[in-house]
C-alpha cells in the first residue's frame, strides 16, 4: 500500500470514528507534508513501534541503554593512528537500517557529495579534478563526531516530523550526542547535514572558475592558480558550518607536483600512485619466488586475510585501470594459495 492510499484509509477511519474535522485536517496536513518529502509517515512513539514491529519496552531500551547497544573498537588509519568505530548491536542496526531505507535515503543531497552514495566512488570524485593548474585538499577533523544531535534533530524537523518524533529519531541515530561511526544512518545523515556547506563552497567555486567535491571528510577544490587565494574563505565556510579543518592535512598542489585526490593521481588521466602498483607487483613476485608460506614467514605476515588483501588491491587498480588490473589479477591467480 502506498502512502496516499494509507492516508485515504486513515481519513475514512477517522471520519467513521467521529474525530473532529479540525483534528482530521491536522493529521492530513502533517501526513501530506511527510509524503511530499518522500519519507515515512510516523505519528508518534507507539506508531513508530508498530512500523518497526518492536515493543515499546524494547524501543526504549534501544534509545536509552546506549552502552549496551554499541560495540566500540579501533581500526588503523591509512595515514597513521586509529579510528574509533562504534557498531550498533544487530537489533539497533535493524532499526537504523529501517530509518535509512524509509526516511533518509529518500532525501536529496548535494551533487558535489561523492562519499556514501550508490554508484559513486573515489574515481568519480577524482575525475572532476584532473588536468588542473591547482588542486587544494582539506580534511575535516573528527567528521562524524562533529555532527551533534541538534543538527540531526533539525534534519528530521526539516523533513516535517513533530518535535516528539524528531527527538526519538535523533536519539536512535546518535550516541553521546553525535553520529556514531559504524551506524547505518550516519553516512547519509552526514551528507544531508553537509548540504548547506556543499552549496556554499560549490557556489564560491563556480564564481572563481573552480571545481568542488567532497568525499566524506575529504574536501577538494581545483582550477586555475588563483584559487589558492580563496583558501581562507573556504576554511571559514567549513568552520561556520560547525567543522574544524585539520591544518596538517591542507595541501596545495600545482601541475609541477604530483596532484592527489582521495588517494588517486589526477595530473593527467586518473591513476593509482606508482608506488602502490609497484608494491603489489613486488608482493606477487615474492609469493612466486619463495612460495606463499616462505614469503609470509620472511615478512612476518599472518596468513589471515592476506589473499583477500592482495586481491582487494588488484580489483581497486582494475577499477581505475582495467587493463593493468586484469594483468595483476591474472598474476594473482597463478599463485599457489594453499597455506
184-193, 299-308, 328-337: least confident range:
299-308
223-271 pLDDT, tens digit per residue, is: 999 999 999 999 999 999 999 999 999 999 999 999 999 999 999 999 9
The answer to whether residue 46 scores a pLDDT higher than 70 is yes
* Helix residue ranges, H only, 128-240: 149-158, 163-173, 185-193, 195-207, 231-240
Task: Return the pLDDT at 7.
Answer: 83
pTM above 0.85, yes or no: yes
286-324 pLDDT, tens digit per residue, is: 998 888 888 888 888 776 788 899 999 999 999 999 999
> 79 falls in which pLDDT band (50, 70, 90)?
low
Task: Return the pLDDT at 202.
Answer: 98
115-169 pLDDT, tens digit per residue, is: 999 989 999 999 999 999 999 999 999 999 999 999 999 999 999 999 999 999 9
Sequence-distant (6+) residues with CB within 8 A of 244 are: 140, 141, 142, 146, 238
Short-list 184, 144, 150, CA closest to 170:
150
> 81 falls in which pLDDT band (50, 70, 90)?
confident
Mean pLDDT of 49-55: 96
Judged on CB neighbours under 10 Å (0-12, 13-18, 19+), 17 is exposed
Percent of the chain with pLDDT over 70: 98
* CA–CA separation, 303 and 72 (whole Å): 25
Amino acid at each position: 500500500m502506498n502512502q496516499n492510499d494509507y492516508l485515504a484509509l486513515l481519513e475514512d477511519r477517522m471520519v467513521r470514528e467521529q474525530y473532529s474535522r479540525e483534528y482530521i485536517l491536522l493529521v492530513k496536513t502533517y501526513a501530506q507534508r511527510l509524503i511530499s518529502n518522500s519519507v515515512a509517515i510516523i505519528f508518534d512513539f507507539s506508531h513508530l513501534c508498530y512500523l518497526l514491529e518492536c515493543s515499546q519496552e524494547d524501543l526504549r531500551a534501544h534509545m536509552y541503554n546506549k552502552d549496551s547497544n554499541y560495540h566500540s573498537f579501533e581500526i588503523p588509519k591509512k595515514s597513521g593512528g586509529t579510528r574509533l568505530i562504534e557498531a550498533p548491536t544487530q537489533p539497533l542496526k535493524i532499526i537504523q537500517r529501517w530509518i535509512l531505507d524509509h526516511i533518509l535515503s529518500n532525501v536529496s543531497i548535494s551533487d558535489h557529495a561523492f562519499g556514501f552514495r550508490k554508484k559513486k566512488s573515489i574515481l568519480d570524485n577524482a575525475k572532476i579534478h584532473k588536468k588542473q593548474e591547482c588542486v587544494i585538499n582539506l580534511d575535516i577533523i573528527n567528521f562524524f563526531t562533529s555532527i551533534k544531535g541538534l543538527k540531526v534533530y533539525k534534519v528530521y524537523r526539516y523533513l516535517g516530523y513533530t518535535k516528539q518524533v524528531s527527538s526519538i529519531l535523533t536519539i536512535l541515530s546518535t550516541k553521546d550526542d553525535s553520529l556514531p561511526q559504524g551506524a547505518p544512518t550516519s553516512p547519509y545523515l552526514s551528507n544531508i547535514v553537509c548540504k548547506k556547506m556543499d552549496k556554499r563552497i560549490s557556489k564560491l567555486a563556480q564564481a572563481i572558475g573552480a571545481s568542488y567535491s567532497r568525499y566524506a571528510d575529504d574536501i577538494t577544490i581545483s582550477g586555475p592558480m588563483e584559487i589558492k587565494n580563496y583558501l581562507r574563505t573556504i576554511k571559514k565556510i567549513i568552520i561556520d558550518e560547525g567543522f574544524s579543518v585539520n591544518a596538517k592535512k591542507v595541501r596545495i598542489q600545482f601541475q609541477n607536483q604530483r596532484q592527489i585526490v582521495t588517494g588517486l593521481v589526477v595530473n593527467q588521466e586518473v591513476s593509482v600512485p606508482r608506488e602502490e602498483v609497484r608494491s603489489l607487483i613486488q608482493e606477487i613476485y615474492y609469493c612466486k619466488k619463495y612460495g606463499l608460506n616462505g614469503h609470509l614467514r620472511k615478512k612476518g605476515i599472518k596468513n589471515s586475510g592476506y589473499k583477500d588483501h592482495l586481491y582487494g588491491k588488484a580489483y581497486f587498480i582494475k577499477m581505475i585501470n582495467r587493463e593493468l588490473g586484469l594483468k595483476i589479477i591474472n598474476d594473482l591467480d597463478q599463485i599457489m594459495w594453499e597455506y
